[in-house]
Structure 1
Amino acid sequence: MSSLAPTTTSDGTIHLATVKQRRLKLPIVLVAMTALLALLFLTAPRSGTSTFRLGDPASSIALPDVGIPTGPTSWIVLLFVAALAAWAFWDAWSYRRVQLWLPVVFSVLAVFAFLVWAAAGGRVPVTGLLAGAISLSVPLVFGALGGVIGERVGVVNVAIEGQLLLGAFSAALLSSITGNPFVGLIGAMIGGVLVAFVLAAFAIKYLVEQVIVGVVLNVLVTGLTGFLYGALLVPNENELNSPIRFTRLEIPLLSEIPIIGPVLFNQTFIVYLMFVTVAVVAWGLYRTRWGLRLRAVGEHPQAADTVGINVNRLRFWNVSLAGAIAGIGGAYFTLVSVPQFGKEMTAGLGFIALAAVIFGRWDPIRAALAALLFGFATNLQNLLTVLKTPIPSEFMLMLPYVVTILAVAGFAGQIRGPAASGKPYIKG
């Protein structure tokens, strides 16, 4: 890596000199993860056969189980992992940028080596593992998309947690009253918009510190939904907290594709809506007039103002849109995942979604992939419990958060968010 730095000669002339910089953060993280895997394999060696179940019982296409020797396979794959870590370190030491494919391949191989070690004498349902990862990541994806839109337009959306929680509450209440999950989904979007409306009012109009407003809103919504749950939903559970949920919609032919068919094409309406929303937001952000204005306001609001864009009004409406999208993620809890609303059921996932925004570098597709990674880590924790691995249960509960820290601190590299994010705009 290189950058330009001013230097002054003896006669007072200023020149720009190229200064090389080594970016060692990512290689150090890769080396540390390799060392941890090696330490795990040495201190808790496992033998036998690790079986991977590729087929799905509901699929008409049957695939055989694949069994591989646990010990030799784990160490062979670990050698490839170590080689990739050394490659990344050599690139960084030689002032070269580490290519994106390297950490991706490293992560896939490291997870595979760990799964082989964990599945000794057991069976890994590959389709179930991937389907569970998709299911757990849906609220994260919608929350991350809301965060991307908010920060791209210049407002830090720390209130994603509150938007998810009020969305879940509104969806459960309205779906129970009307008996229609689509009405519950609309209610969830309205709930998310209400939280975003308050965030936008204080942050944009009254110039209150955005992070503080977001944190306060999360606490407020947690207390409000907790009170309403005890005072309203618990005494009237059958009438107000028994939402009608979305059923799975199987796409013919596509759902029969081995491994990925049941994962992607036998899902509920909200999951299909997630696929469409990611594509639409990504396309709109970079290919439409709306996206151009949104990015301009988030990067240089003064320049946008000079060409006739109402900066604060654009911010206000896009923060509301972000809240509506995050509210859909909240609806997934009560209209798909859990049959009723529960206190604090989002369990801090709004903050994980915010981490996905940073890890994804404020890009919709990258943020969605980051959310999928965190969902996979959460589902992996559940699988490790079933496989009865010798890892302490306390560490397995930490796994999704450890992955979040490693992703943001190590794999994200040196990144810069939108220049005007978190900065109020005062005209004139």
Structure 2
Amino acid sequence: MSVEMAAVFIGSTIRLAAPLMLSASGELLSERTGVLNMSVEGMMLTGAFAGAVGAWATGSPMLGLLIGVVAVIPVALLQAVLSITLRANQIVTGIGINILVLGATTLAYREIFGGRSRAEIPGLDKWAPPGLGDIPIFGDQVFQQAWLLYLGLALIAVLAWVMRYTALGLALHSAGSAPRAVDKSGLSVNTLRYGAVLFTGMMSALAGCFLSIGDIHTFTEGMTNGTGYLAIAAVIFGNWKIGRTLLACLLFGAATALQFQLPAMGIEVPSALLIMLPYLLALLAVGGLVGRQTAPAALTIPFVR
């Protein structure tokens, strides 16, 4: 592999892993507090659609991004009410929300853009950190990314710091591992869980907006294409640790990038095999074949005082 092709592959890996990293970091927080948020896929799709429509209608990708984030709040609240307040089955409600959002966005897309429209919409500008963008070959291919990626990485860094070094982080950890202890300390377990689900919604909205207005500058029906489920698998793959979860996202991104890289290198591999590779890795993670996973003790268990 030439240096140029290596740079393209690394850049593609980062770009394809970006929405995974954003949504998986939110899902990680949600699961750490005890809520398995299966509706990440629906939240991402809502953010992608609302962001695209907002950017198209206003002509401003920044307003589109804001609209995308705001639009996901009702979806996140619905998930929180069902799984935390009403104590409904978290898996069933999450999948139900995903199906609802897929149908709603498909219908709205066809009404607004037409059945086969691929209208290009205003997108977010690309940006590279000072100095890194000037590196020969690698600067343009690897570091020249939509600026939303770098904002997301900054938010993930803040999340990692909060979870590791603050009292709030300790409380969030405990909400998913020892909720009784949190309740006895005077804190509200359900309030912490509500906050975590809303944070998941925000990060998933950013991930969806990255897909539609940060990367390809358009919207297509069901464009998340299972990315939300891969984000959940990345959390499991990473054993509910933020560093390992990000590495899992990069691994899934690399597996997806191979779909384009291997044919460019003249390596003949069945396209179906390359398409299924990220999901095969996810299956290995969920099946526990990549090492022992230790989930939060109270994950999926509603809290009752």
TM-score, L = length of structure 1:
0.68
Contact 2:262 2:268 in 1 (8 A): no
| d(CA) in 2 for partners of 1:198, 1:206 | 10
Contact 2:259 2:271 in 1 (8 A): no
- Of residues 141, 152, 164 in structure 2, which corresponds to 1:286? 164
Pick closer, same or farther for the CA change 1:250–1:414 going to 2, 3 Å.
closer
- 2:28 maps to 148
Contact 1:192 1:325 in 2 (8 A): no
- 1:234 maps to 114
Of residues 127-136 and 282-291 in structure 1, the stretch that sits farther from structure 2 once superposed is: 282-291
Q: Deviations over 1:205-250 (max 9, x none)?
A: 1110111100100000000001101112328x79xx6431012123
| d(CA) in 1 for partners of 2:178, 2:297 | 7
1:351 aligned to 2:300? no
Contact 1:297 1:304 in 2 (8 A): yes
- 1:306 maps to 184
CA shift at 1:278, angstroms? 1.9
CA shift at 1:134, angstroms? 0.7
Pick closer, same or farther for the CA change 1:264–1:384 going to 2, 3 Å.
closer
Pick closer, same or farther for the CA change 1:256–1:53 going to 2, 3 Å.
farther
- 2:200 maps to 322
CA shift at 1:263, angstroms? 4.9
Note the 1:27-426 alignment, pairs <5 A: 52-55=1-4, 125-234=5-114, 242-258=120-136, 260-409=138-287, 412-426=290-304
Of residues 225-234 and 342-351 in structure 1, the stretch that sits farther from structure 2 once superposed is: 225-234
Q: Percent identity?
A: 35
CA shift at 1:258, angstroms? 4.9
CA shift at 1:410, angstroms? 5.8
CA shift at 1:182, angstroms? 1.6
Pick closer, same or farther for the CA change 1:234–1:309 going to 2, 3 Å.
same
| d(CA) in 2 for partners of 1:126, 1:210 | 41
Equivalent residue letter for 1:188: G
Q: What RMSD, in angstroms, separates the aligned Cα atoms of the two structures?
A: 2.0
Equivalent residue letter for 1:405: L
Equivalent residue letter for 1:222: L
Contact 2:236 2:285 in 1 (8 A): no
Q: State how many pairs are aligned.
A: 305
Structure with the larger helix share:
2
CA shift at 1:379, angstroms? 0.4
Contact 2:16 2:253 in 1 (8 A): yes
SS in 1 for 2:281: helix
| d(CA) in 2 for partners of 1:253, 1:142 | 25
Equivalent residue letter for 2:3: L
